[in-house]
Structure 1
Amino acid sequence: MNLKNYIVAAFITLFCAVNLNAQKKKVAVVGFYSDKIIGFSELNGVGEALLTEVLKLRDNPDFDLTPMLNNYHDAFFNDYAKDFPFDLVPEKEVLANEVYQAFVPKYELDDEALKRYVFIDGYKHIYEGALGKVNEEAVAKMFSDIADGVLFVEVHFDLTKGFGIGSTATVKMKAFTRISLYDKTGKKVFVINESAQSKKTSVMVGGIPVMKTTKILPMCESALERLMKDLDKRLPKIIKKADKL
């Protein structure tokens, strides 16, 4: 290759690299939390009695989901983020935004209602999903000068049937994550819903699962760990199928 052709080839390579980098979109993560209310819709015939236990668990200071939520958060930003076809706006830049911190969303919860949630420090509870269009559009507009979209991340836990029947029946925990992306106008781009069951189980007593923190916390941790491992493997394929920003 002569010098002229070499220079032309080098210029084309550089141009393509710069152009590709310039086209990389940016997204701001605007929500990251977990729910202390354990669902039980998959268990039949337990109703009111179990709800009482679930509410007691929510109010128990020993039922702390913070460490496992922090682990998921770190994996999300350090590992899963690499699979997205866009870059994440630095978290500090998002959380330091005064407009974001002062934002009063539709369906804002009072202090009592907020006790059911565990947040990564600095994030607000902003409802998104069915009937959440006002919030989605407002937050997207809020960051439209630095981001091409906004992302919400949630974690929830539900009890589900294990094995056995009657006095030998057991339950497992199922961890869910919802990852929702909206463009800079607040239009939904994609929603990822993934779940995984715990390896650990708990027993039923009188048809009601034992709801002690020493039983429930390890089940939540087990379920979330399995979910995170599944995301490690599956997220790249899921993202390819999702609509691009």
Structure 2
Amino acid sequence: MIKYEIPENLKARENIIKRTFRYSNEITFKCEETKPWDSKLGGCPYLKNIEEYPLDEDGEPMIFLAQLNLSEIKNLNDLPEKGLLQFFIVNDDMFGLESPIVVRYIEKYEEDETQLIKENPYENSEEYKEGLPFLNNGKMHFEIREMPMSSSLELFETTYKNELSEEEYEKLSDDCYSCDSRVGGYPYFVQNDYLGFSDEDFLLLQLDIDDECGIMFGDSGNCVFSIPKNALKDKDFSKVVYDWQCC
């Protein structure tokens, strides 16, 4: 586990800071071959037949962004213990920002590759490739991290502004820079917290800049998928909200 080290000049405020701690699963990517049910960036989703592949409102194939195998993710009690989560966005020049997304939960899956589609039926077309926010498909690897609240949240100010001195507040703001890719924990917003992420929300997926797979949303940007915890408890993934921002 990656432990969070409270800065020396904030040790006196340790209890205030620790009460916001959450666990996340930090993601690293490797350009490796994946099984249909693996946690992955791009490539081919777990798919039994082509008719299951999501299409946008114009009947065009959506971009398969990522898949999470929930059995590979640890210490996040809000998530289901097993199953697959798949993330699809509309293929346009805004990475589907203003269009409906599809987040699909597959509770039970089989591991017989002979019964599954092994290649994304659309990813070799130039039109599909042009819309991708990454250069290479990759396998996800996870490491548990302990993290304080992200200073990019509106919630950060309301939580700490009256609890810390101005100097302490600035120091903690500088230290709580929550970039990188992850599941759980807190999101990082490049510009503003337009989603209004709160204590009652769960970070389902954050994809940030990555050299291995060439992830990049716009100009040095990232994307965030968030869901209310009560919807997550009910496995209602129609309530997922999506945002991406860049410099």
Give the TM-score of the pair, scaled to structure 2: 0.27
- TM-score computed with the length of structure 1 as normaliser: 0.27
Q: Could you say which structure has the larger radius of gyration?
A: 1
